[in-house]
Amino acid sequence: MSKKTINSVKIQVKTTFRADVSNIDSNSFLYNYQIRIQNLGSNPVQLLRRYWKIEHLNHGSSIVSGDGVVGEQPILKQFEYHEYISGCQIIVPIGRMSGFYTFQDLVTGEQFPVEIPSFQLIYPGLLN
């Protein structure tokens, strides 16, 4: 599990390889990633946008960005957390995801980025 705390927002990531929907022979490696976002600050914050960079080892990268996460723009009061599960596909056995969320402090109006800890996507068959 990867984790990082920035501007009093803590991000934790856990990944799972999806053998049930991956097709290794066709270079289709699918993963779920579970994200837990917790507000450790005293002011409520709202997650406004996401930006992901998905890197396919030696085969370039793709960008995913937009409003919220899985159709939501959660508001987190002090010590509250929001969890969600999403997924991605890479075209090689090894990849990496990184990115950031844009939050807004609902008291001051300030918008600020929070880096998502970079995490590896590694086909488990390579580890044996």
Burial 96-110 (b: 16+ CB within 10 A, else e): bbbbbbbbbbeeeee
pLDDT, mean over the chain: 93
- CA separation for the pair 91, 57 (Å, rounded): 9
Domain ranges, ordered by start, for the chain:
2-121
103-123 pLDDT, tens digit each? 999 999 999 999 999 999 999
Q: Is the pLDDT of residue 54 over 60?
A: yes
Query: Which of these, 119, 116, 65, lies nearest to 96 by C-alpha position?
Result: 119
10-20 pLDDT, tens digit each? 999 999 999 99
Look at the alpha carbons of 80, 35, 61, 94 in this order and tell me if their dihedral is positive or negative: positive
State how beta strands 9-17 and 2-6 pair. antiparallel
What is the SS3 assignment for 113?
Answer: strand
pLDDT at 63: 95
Confidence band of 2 (pLDDT split at 50, 70, 90): low
Q: Which CATH number fits domain 2-121: 3.30.230.10, 1.10.10.10, 1.10.3720.10, 2.60.40.1470?
A: 2.60.40.1470
